Amino acid sequence: MIGPFRARFRLHRNGSLDLRITNEERELVGHLTEQLRDLLMGTTASGAVDPAMRRLYPTAHADDADLEDEYQAGKRDELLSRRLENIDTVERTLGAEVLSEVEAATWIKTINDLRLVLGTKLDVIEEDDITDLDPDEEDSYPKAVYHYLGHLLGELIDAVNP
């Protein structure tokens, strides 16, 4: 414990990780994973990709539409299945006090996916400074969530890679 603050994550020698986030944080992550699942499932139902999902399904063959369609058709189901499994793992472990090494890696992947989708929805670029939030702005809450996810992701990565 550092000063009055306690680290949210602590790595054990066996690779497991203490998960010390508040109930409010657990609820937020749970709510966000539900929304991500809905977005992912909506993508397959319509056959079209929600623009916010473009970072999760990047273009591989920008110069050849037929090759791109073939690539996306082959990879999309695999990526979708993996992402849905990751969401299941995060939701299943939301109440856990300790994550296995595999579960911690899954949290990292899912938090990163959440951040990518939200950043795309907000049209955030790396140079943007979203730390100075105006509570009167319409998108101040999503920006605050984006900022939170960035910190959470950074702390997770730092904890598993000391």
Structural domain including 18 reads 9-160
Give the tens place of pLDDT for each residue, 65-96.
888 878 877 787 888 899 999 999 999 999 99
Question: For the chain, how many structural domains are there in total?
Answer: 1
Measure the CA–CA gap between 143 and 138, rounded to whole angstroms.
10
Residue 123 belongs to some domain of the structure: yes
Whose CA is closest to 18, among 121, 86, 103, 132? 103
Q: What is the pTM of this model?
A: 0.83
Residue 75 lies inside a defined structural domain of this protein: yes
- Distance between CA 73 and CA 161 in Å, rounded? 35
Nearest to 40, CA basis, from 64, 76, 10 = 76
Distance (Å, whole) CA 114 – CA 108: 10
> Residue 55 falls within a domain, yes or no?
yes
**Rounded to whole angstroms, how far apart are CA atoms 133 and 66?**
43
- The Cα–Cα gap between 114 and 60 comes to 21
Per-residue pLDDT of the chain (162 residues; tens, 9 = 90+): 444 456 889 989 998 999 999 999 999 999 999 999 988 888 544 456 677 777 887 777 888 888 887 887 778 788 889 999 999 999 999 999 999 999 999 999 999 999 999 998 888 866 555 566 666 777 788 888 998 999 999 999 999 997
Joined tokens for residue 117: 């989708």
| Residue 29, Cβ density class (10 Å: 0-12 exposed, 13-18 middle, ≥19 buried) | buried
